[in-house]
């Protein structure tokens, strides 16, 4: 029995003349993601990508799991391929969908006859197949408006495909179709979710992480790398920038007033991140900030942070409650890792009473007490860059 | 490298590695098999059993092998609760136990048992009297560790258990002996313990093997059931390689308990003297505590930061206790360590491979860290 996966496009289907660019991007992403499972044959027709394994030993459950995480796909079906012969379609097709039919009360049959050389017309296929199904599953009744199960028969160039179960794809746009952005990845719950949401809109993500040994541990960095590898299941391979940040933090602490510490630190992070973006053809920053969540995430604080940014800063979770963010982080599988207790090693540097409504001029005056430009250069220069693949 | 974290784990001894290797490569039979290969494997674990029994001064039939000391303690606590819980509903322990004991009692409490936890007094001392007076005829189990894993404090187990057993012979006495085994000389008779939990990897054997002493006649329900190994008390095919390694290392170390004790004591004294001249450093461990574990408070520096600072210089110590991976220690609080040291305490723990040079390196780097690291704000 030869199985095939049908991936129905989401928004791409609605695109105009540039549709094929998005399609190409999606196919490229799918190919890259499925490579580790084995060889596949790909073909496209009518806003659907057909993925057929060339080897019968490929574990299709794992393939489906991976496919469900690829952006740009609205629906996924697993179908059986049979010869274009009604007898075979009825026999093997019904057997393939029998499990779904046994669990249902109502059903209907849908036929798509793309290959017009097939002798039976669509309504005829539907009614004859419906009859046979009713005979074999006497507990079923036909409901054409609201069936529990829709058995679909597609007659195409290469063969006939029969399927009954559709699952939701990840939706969104193919990763890479909307440019490159740099995610500030801290190790908390919010930033992976922010990254996921941008990737969903087709943004190719890179991630920057600031580490401060010995104040933060190797385990803290390993945790962030783990988060990136979980995100990569959705976003594809992530280019990871690990910035040594200890010296900058120590200098802020030595030179600037404590209440401004967090805001100045964030401004310097933005500076370093921006420089890395410039050197790597990345056009925007992404953070996991949610307004009013903590002292450094007030509107006034963001105004001060963004004052150093020459590129857009996207904050896709800005209007979400923690509960909503956690829900997504559980769904994408980053939550369990995010709550590992390593990130707080940096508490040495958090002020007891941070400014919640900092004024830009005051922040700038405070920051001018030390010339950070050399340290920013050094941090950029010493940043380690490596790729992280999906785990 | 200066490895000063021997209370977390130790480097396996040559004798251990050799024994493990032999069991893996040659003596690979199943101890339950009836033929020769099986008998040889059985002999190997019984030899290890004998070696441990000899150190504890008990019969080898009273030693059971487990996967770790955590399993040993879980077995005793839940096994005793299963056997006696219908008639007796009370258990007594302390607030300074290792999580492998403490969390078992938390679970018993949730299941409806009364758990009394004795904490140290203002001086940080646990009085035997307190433990004894908490026990009554309704108490089925009292559990008290011998050496505290975070501070090295030695609890008055023997004094407490002796009088408890005299007054309530039915009450089971359990001791987590992990940090004392082969370090502080003791015998089962001198401790008056019915059950003792032991670990392999704290005494130069491998991780993955522990032991449990259960006095003959004491009824504890098995925790893991199955094929009936270990006289039906701990099912599962015995891990012959790790048990052999454990046995080999015990045999070797049992000959040098006093000698190593003196060596550790000397190191502890040397460290204390060197630290005396340093500002902002406090020795949390008491003079009469185990010389193998020294708890050091370094004012204003976060323990985890100091740990990583030292790590970069190849000096390995732990913050709080290694099992809790950076979580704040309620045990130190329980020992009345002042608030400013709670987040700033590292644990230095010795074995016979440590020298004064290790301590010199440690003290020098702690002093440098005091100058170089950003301080916690007050």
Could you read off the pLDDT of B211-250 as tens digits, one per residue? Answer: 999 999 999 999 999 999 999 999 999 999 999 999 999 9
Query: Is A175 within the bounds of a domain?
Result: no
Angle at A248 between CA A246 and CA A252, to 5 degrees: 115
Average pLDDT, chain A: 92
Facing residue for A214 by CB, picked from B308, B375, B376: B308
Dihedral sign from CA coordinates of A167, A169, A170, A171: negative
Taking contacts as CB-CB distances below 8 angstroms, the residues of chain B near A349 are 374
Q: Is it the case that residue B325 has pLDDT exceeding 90?
A: no
> Under an 8 A CB cutoff, do A253 and B326 touch?
no
Q: Is it the case that residue B374 has pLDDT exceeding 80?
A: no
Taking contacts as CB-CB distances below 8 angstroms, the residues of chain B near A342 are 326
How distant, in Å, are the alpha carbons of A22, A233, B63 from that of B246? Answer: 62, 43, 13
Could you read off the pLDDT of A356-372 as tens digits, one per residue? Answer: 889 999 999 999 999 99
Taking contacts as CB-CB distances below 8 angstroms, the residues of chain B near A218 are 308
d(CA A85, CA B251): 78
Q: Is it the case that residue B323 has pLDDT exceeding 50?
A: no
Query: Domain check: are A235 and A377 in the same one?
Result: yes
Enumerate the β-bridge partners of residue B139. B90
CATH number, domain B14-253: 3.40.640.10
Query: Is A192 within the bounds of a domain?
Result: yes
d(CA B73, CA B97): 11
A322-332 and A190-200 helices, crossing angle to 10°: 70
CATH, residue A296: 3.40.50.620
Boundary of a domain, candidates A148, A170, A192: A170
Q: Is it the case that residue B337 has pLDDT exceeding 80?
A: yes
The string of DSSP codes covering A358-390 is --HHHHHHHHTTS--HHHHHHHHHH-EEEEE--
CB neighbours of residue B25 within 10 Å: 9
Between B366 and B300, residue with greater pLDDT:
B366
Candidate from A156-160, B11-15, B295-299 with smallest mean pLDDT: A156-160
Q: Is it the case that residue B293 has pLDDT exceeding 50?
A: yes
Query: Domain check: are A99 and A36 in the same one?
Result: yes
Between A345 and B304, residue with greater pLDDT:
B304
> Under an 8 A CB cutoff, do B374 and A345 touch?
no
Q: Which residue matches tokens 């002042």?
A: B338
Q: Is it the case that residue A377 has pLDDT exceeding 80?
A: yes
In this prediction, residue A345 carries a pLDDT of: 52
d(CA A288, CA A279): 23
In this prediction, residue B322 carries a pLDDT of: 45
Query: Is A301 within the bounds of a domain?
Result: yes
> Under an 8 A CB cutoff, do A348 and B376 touch?
yes
Q: Which residue matches tokens 């390196």?
A: B361
Ramachandran angles phi, psi of A43, nearest 5°: -150, 155
Quote the number of domains for chain A.
Answer: 2
Q: Is it the case that residue B326 has pLDDT exceeding 70?
A: no
Boundary of a domain, candidates A170, A201, A233: A170
Could you read off the pLDDT of B114-158 as tens digits, one per residue? Answer: 999 999 999 999 999 999 999 999 999 999 999 999 999 999 999
- Cβ atoms of residues A196 and A234 within 8 Å: yes
Q: Is it the case that residue A239 has pLDDT exceeding 70?
A: yes
Average pLDDT, chain B: 94
Pull the structure tokens for residue B170. Answer: 């039915």
Ramachandran angles phi, psi of A112, nearest 5°: -125, 115
Ramachandran angles phi, psi of A356, nearest 5°: -90, -25
Share of chain B above pLDDT 70, in %: 97
B278 is catalytic: no
* pLDDT band, very low/low/confident/very high, at A347 (cuts 50, 70, 90): low
- Cβ atoms of residues B202 and B224 within 8 Å: no
Taking contacts as CB-CB distances below 8 angstroms, the residues of chain A near B312 are 213-214
Mean pLDDT of A192-217: 94
CB neighbours of residue A127 within 10 Å: 13
Query: Domain check: are A67 and A158 in the same one?
Result: yes
Between A314 and A165, residue with greater pLDDT:
A314
d(CA A151, CA B116): 65
Q: What one-character DSSP code corresponds to residue B95?
A: T
> Under an 8 A CB cutoff, do A214 and B325 touch?
no
In this prediction, residue A355 carries a pLDDT of: 85
d(CA B304, CA A97): 58
Query: Is A252 within the bounds of a domain?
Result: yes
- Nearest residue to A279 (alpha-carbon basis) of A204, A130, A380: A380
In this prediction, residue A142 carries a pLDDT of: 94
B327 interface with A at CB cutoff 8 Å: yes
Query: Domain check: are A256 and A139 in the same one?
Result: no
B325 interface with A at CB cutoff 8 Å: yes
Boundary of a domain, candidates A122, A141, A170: A170
At A40, is the secondary structure helix, strand, or coil?
A: strand
Mean pLDDT of B60-79: 98
Interface test with A, best of B326, B328, B368 (most A CBs within 10 A): B326
Query: Would you identify the CATH topology of the domain B2-9+257-372?
Result: 3.90.1150
Virtual torsion, Cα A367, A369, A373, A379, nearest 10 deg:
-70
Query: Domain check: are A154 and A67 in the same one?
Result: yes
Rounded to a whole number of angstroms, the distance from the CA of A250 to the nearest CA of chain B is 7
The rounded radius of gyration (Å) of the Cα atoms in chain B is 21
| Torsion-angle region of A59 (φ positive above 0: left; ψ -120 to 50: alpha; else: beta) | beta
| Torsion-angle region of A145 (φ positive above 0: left; ψ -120 to 50: alpha; else: beta) | alpha
Query: Domain check: are A368 and A230 in the same one?
Result: yes
Pull the structure tokens for residue A150. Answer: 């829709």
Query: Domain check: are A127 and A193 in the same one?
Result: no
CB neighbours of residue B40 within 10 Å: 17
Range of the structural domain that residue A214 is part of = 180-388
Q: What one-character DSSP code corresponds to residue A375?
A: H
In this prediction, residue B243 carries a pLDDT of: 98
Domain ranges in chain B? 2-9+257-372, 14-253
> Under an 8 A CB cutoff, do B376 and A341 touch?
no
> Under an 8 A CB cutoff, do B373 and A213 touch?
no
Q: Is it the case that residue A15 has pLDDT exceeding 60?
A: yes
Q: Is there a shared CATH topology between the B2-9+257-372 domain and the B14-253 domain?
A: no
CATH, residue A19: 3.30.2130.30
Query: Domain check: are A203 and A128 in the same one?
Result: no
Mean pLDDT of A43-67: 91
- Cβ atoms of residues A275 and A242 within 8 Å: no
In this prediction, residue B321 carries a pLDDT of: 47
Interface test with B, best of A187, A212, A213, A214 (most B CBs within 10 A): A214
What interface predicted TM-score (ipTM) does this complex get? 0.75
* pLDDT band, very low/low/confident/very high, at B18 (cuts 50, 70, 90): very high
């Amino acid at each position: 029995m030869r199985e095939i996966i049908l991936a129905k496009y989401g928004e791409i289907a609605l695109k105009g003349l540039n549709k094929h660019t998005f399609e190409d991007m999606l196919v490229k992403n799918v190919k890259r993601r499925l490579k580790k499972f084995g060889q596949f044959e790909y073909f496209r027709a009518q806003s659907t990508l057909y993925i057929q394994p060339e080897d019968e030993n490929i574990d299709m459950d794992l393939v489906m799991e991976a496919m469900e995480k690829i952006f740009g796909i609205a629906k996924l079906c697993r179908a059986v391929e049979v010869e274009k012969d009604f007898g075979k379609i009825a026999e093997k097709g019904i057997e393939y969908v029998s499990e779904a039919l046994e669990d249902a009360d109502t059903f209907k049959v849908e036929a798509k006859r793309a290959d017009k050389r097939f002798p039976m017309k669509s309504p005829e296929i539907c009614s004859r197949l419906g009859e046979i199904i009713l005979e074999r599953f006497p507990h079923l009744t036909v409901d054409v408006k609201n069936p529990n199960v829709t058995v679909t028969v597609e007659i195409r160039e290469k063969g006939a495909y029969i399927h009954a179960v559709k699952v939701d794809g990840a939706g969104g746009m193919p990763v890479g179709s909307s440019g490159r952005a740099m995610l500030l990845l801290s190790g908390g719950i919010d930033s992976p979710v922010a990254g996921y949401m941008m990737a969903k809109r087709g943004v190719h993500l890179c991630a920057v992480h600031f580490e401060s040994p010995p104040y933060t541990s190797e385990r803290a960095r390993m945790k962030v790398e783990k988060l990136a590898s979980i995100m990569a299941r959705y976003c594809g391979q992530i280019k990871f920038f690990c910035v040594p940040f200890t010296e900058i933090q120590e200098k802020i602490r030595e030179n600037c007033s404590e209440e401004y510490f967090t805001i100045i630190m964030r401004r310097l992070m933005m500076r370093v991140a921006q420089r890395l973006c410039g050197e790597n053809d990345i056009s925007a920053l992404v953070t996991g900030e949610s307004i009013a969540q903590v002292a450094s995430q007030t509107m006034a604080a963001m105004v001060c942070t963004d004052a150093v940014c020459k590129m857009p800063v996207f904050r896709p979770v800005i209007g979400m409650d923690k509960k909503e963010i956690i829900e997504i982080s559980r769904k994408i599988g980053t939550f369990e890792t995010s709550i590992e207790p390593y990130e707080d090693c940096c508490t040495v540097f958090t002020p007891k009473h941070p400014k919640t409504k900092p004024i830009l001029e005051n922040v700038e005056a405070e920051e001018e007490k030390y010339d950070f430009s050399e340290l920013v250069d050094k941090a950029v220069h010493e940043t380690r860059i490596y790729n992280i693949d999906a785990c | 490298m200066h490895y000063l974290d021997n209370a977390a784990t130790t480097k396996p001894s040559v004798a251990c590695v050799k024994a493990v290797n032999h069991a893996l490569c040659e003596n690979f039979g199943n101890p339950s098999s009836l033929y020769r290969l099986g008998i040889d494997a059985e002999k190997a674990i019984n030899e290890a059993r004998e070696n441990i029994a000899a150190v504890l001064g008990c019969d080898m039939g009273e030693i059971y092998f487990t996967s770790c000391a955590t399993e040993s303690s879980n077995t005793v606590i839940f096994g005793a609760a299963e056997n006696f819980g219908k008639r007796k509903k009370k258990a007594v322990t302390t607030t300074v136990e290792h999580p492998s004991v403490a969390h078992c009692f938390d679970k018993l409490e949730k299941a409806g048992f009364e758990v009394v936890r004795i904490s140290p007094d203002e001086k940080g001392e646990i009085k035997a009297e307190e433990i004894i007076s908490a026990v009554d005829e309704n108490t089925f189990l009292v559990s008290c560790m011998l050496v505290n894993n975070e501070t090295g404090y030695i609890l008055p187990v023997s004094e407490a258990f002796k009088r408890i057993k005299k007054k309530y012979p039915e009450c089971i006495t359990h001791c987590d002996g992990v940090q004392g085994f082969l370090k502080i000389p003791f015998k089962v008779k001198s401790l008056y313990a019915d059950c003792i939990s032991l670990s392999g990897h704290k005494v130069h054997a491998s991780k993955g093997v522990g032991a449990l002493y259960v006095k003959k006649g004491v009824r504890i329900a098995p925790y893991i059931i199955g094929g009936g190994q270990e006289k039906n008390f701990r099912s599962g095919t015995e891990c012959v390689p790790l048990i052999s390694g454990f046995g080999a290392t015990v045999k070797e170390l049992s000959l040098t308990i006093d000698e190593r004790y003196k060596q550790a004591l000397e190191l502890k004294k040397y460290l204390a003297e060197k630290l005396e001249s340093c500002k902002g450093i406090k020795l949390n461990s008491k003079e009469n505590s185990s010389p193998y574990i020294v708890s050091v408070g370094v004012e204003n520096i976060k323990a985890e930061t100091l740990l990583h600072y030292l790590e970069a210089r190849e000096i390995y110590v732990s913050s709080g206790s290694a099992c809790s991976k950076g979580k704040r220690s309620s045990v130190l609080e329980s020992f009345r360590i002042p608030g400013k040291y709670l987040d700033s305490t590292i644990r230095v723990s010795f074995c016979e491979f440590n020298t004064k040079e290790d301590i010199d390196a440690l003290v020098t780097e702690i002093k440098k860290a005091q100058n170089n690291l950003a301080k916690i704000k007050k």
